[in-house]
Structures are given as C-alpha cells and as structure tokens.
Amino acid sequence: MAFAPVGPEASFFEVLDQHRASLLAALRRGGGEPADGGTRLASSSEVLASIESVIQDVITSLARNKAPVFTIDNRSSWENIKFEDSVGLQMVPHCTRRKIKSDSPKSVKNFALILKILSIIYKLVQSNTHATKRDIYYTDSQLFGNQTVVDNIINDISCMLKVPRMSLHISSTSKGLIAGNLRYIEEDGTKVHCTCGTTAVAVPSNIQGIRNIITDAKFLLIVEKDATFQRLLDDNFCNRMSPCIMVTGKGVPDLNTRLLVKKLWDTFHIPVFTLVDADPHGIEIMCIYKYGSMAMSFEAHNLTVPAIRWLGLLPSDIKRLNIPRDTLIPLTKRDQMKLDSVLKRPYVTCQPFWRKE
C-alpha cells in the first residue's frame, strides 16, 4: 500500500502533503483535540441516571397532582443556533425550549411515545444490548404509525438527556459505502478490508465499535451521489489516485456515514474533500458534513469536520469548463427556496467565496 508519486501526479500529492501540514499546524495552534479523538460519549451509568432523573420528575409532578411535562431544546429556530468555524452549528447555552405536555390533546400522544421509548432505551442500556431504530418501530408499528415518528423521538430524547445518540444503544442501518486503502475490525471481530477495485463496502452500523483502523491514505474524498461514486470506482479512481479513501452517503448522509468521516478525521487527520452537485442541495450536503445540521446541532462535537474542503463541482466550474448552457437543468422553485435558505446561514455569510459561488 506504499506509494511513491511520480510524473505529473507528484505535484498533486506534494500539494496534499502541504495541505495536511497546514491542517496539523492549525490543530496545534488550537490546542489539538481531546485525547478520545473528539468524540464525547456518556457511560451506561450516566445514561441510566439521566433517564431515572426524568422519570423521577414525572413521578414528582403526579404526586403533586400536576400534569408531567417534558422540556426539550428548540432545534427548529436559527435563533437557538450559533456558528463557530472550529465546530460548526451548535446550540446556544440558554436557548428557547418547547414543552411536551401530558395534559394537552396536541402533545399527549408524543408524551406517551417518549415514555415508551425511554423505557426501551433503559432496558437496552441496562442489559448492554443494542437495537436499531427499525427494531424499535416494529415493537409497536401501529402505535408509532411510521418510522419518522420514532426517528424524531430518539433525537428528542438524545437532546433532552444531553446524551449522544450512540450512547443510547440505538443504531441505524447504514446506507453509505466506503472504498479505498482502509482496513479495520468490526465490534464482532469481523475483519474488513476495503479495496481499490469496483466493489465498495457498506459503512458499519456501529462506528464506535470498530477498531484497529489501518490506512496510509493521503486523502479522503466524500462523494454526494452513489451514481458518481460508482462511476469513479468503475473508472479505477481509487487505484489511479492511490493511496486514498472514498465515501458516499448516497445523498443526504445518514448518521453512521457522518460518524465514520469524523472518526477517520480524528484518527488520521488526512485532508478531506467533498465532491457534490453544483446546486443548492449539493452545497447543503457538503455543509452537513463540514458544519452539521440544525436538527443535530446538539451533537455537533461528535459529527462535524470543519476541516473539510469543497473540491467541487463549483458553480463557477460550469463556466470554466465551458459546459454548454443547453445541457444545464434550470433551478426549480424548490431549488430557489433552498438556495435562499442556504444564503442566510451563518457559515455562508462569513465566507465571501462561498457566497459568490
């Protein structure tokens, strides 16, 4: 897996080495990262204590003949989100909160569902077992109605308990793929050897459990779309640019794909680039990897990689590459609304180059 760049490609890898040196220098200036690689987990005893505290509050309210209430940080308002270039989007310390009341017709079902899933999580943590979000949905699919209800409640519980979702012993099925110069061992002892061929490996469903990660990759390329990812594999990109790693979240990335990118950055500090569509949705996906999202802003420290660089496709590349205008797809009304939304976000307003693009 060793690589000695020769010919025209040599200058590319020399620039990569210079870029990595500047990233490491910036880390040293910033005091480095936590010894645990930046990921902040809660122990099982801490999770159990947090759940017990919530239930104790419910019992206390009932004993006083008061209707119990769950209070959760409001993650749907930009007023509650602050932006730091070194972390990304995160909750402000004293944000507004929303109440889920047990005596309100609008929220009583949601209150009950939170209690039910808290009970499931408590049993999982207590018995040191894991379940997928899909498993939880099928414990009572008629009660939950659809998977999105379960997903949203799990995020609300994670936010309410101030506990990373991976500490709740709940996982989700990964949709992402990975290829290139990478080897690791999964939690169950399975040895995974990613290759530079035309076949990719599924992103693990328990990122925290993987160990013995080995790579000599010079860079990590995140590709927005699965079709583009597969085309690059078919064109032998990984071999031609070896040693490297390539990842796709197949559109908007799932939590496991984001956790994997974060883990690879924390472990190896190699340059990370994104290749996304030159449209508002592609730009937003790049921003999710780099700076996070409003919905998961309470867990920014575990998910974001601010060192990510926007490789392309840049909107300005369309003109630079002389792409015929009649081959372009016009922006839809939905695209325009997304564009207007992205333009107002704090990470765009502070970067003139991004704003211009």
**Residues with catalytic annotation?**
138
Q: Answer left, alpha or beta for residue 250, where phi above 0 means left and psi between -120 and 50 means alpha.
A: left
Q: Are 178 and 203 a contacting pair, CB within 8 Å?
A: yes
Report the Cα 229 to chain-centroid distance in Å: 18
Amino acid at 164: P
Q: Spell out the residues 6+ positions from residue 316 whose beta carbon is closer than 8 angstroms to its own.
A: 356, 357
Instruction: Return the DSSP state at 254.
Output: P
Q: Answer left, alpha or beta for residue 236, where phi above 0 means left and psi between -120 and 50 means alpha.
A: left
The two beta strands, 191-194 and 182-185, are antiparallel
Burial of 195 (0-12, 13-18, 19+ CB in 10 A): middle
End-to-end CA separation in angstroms for the chain:
37
Which residues are registered as beta bridge partners of 272?
220
How far apart, in whole angstroms, are the C-alpha atoms of residue 343 and residue 350? 10
Strand order in the sheet with 182-185: 191-194, 182-185, 211-214
Which residues are registered as beta bridge partners of 312?
275
Q: Are 209 and 289 a contacting pair, CB within 8 Å?
A: no
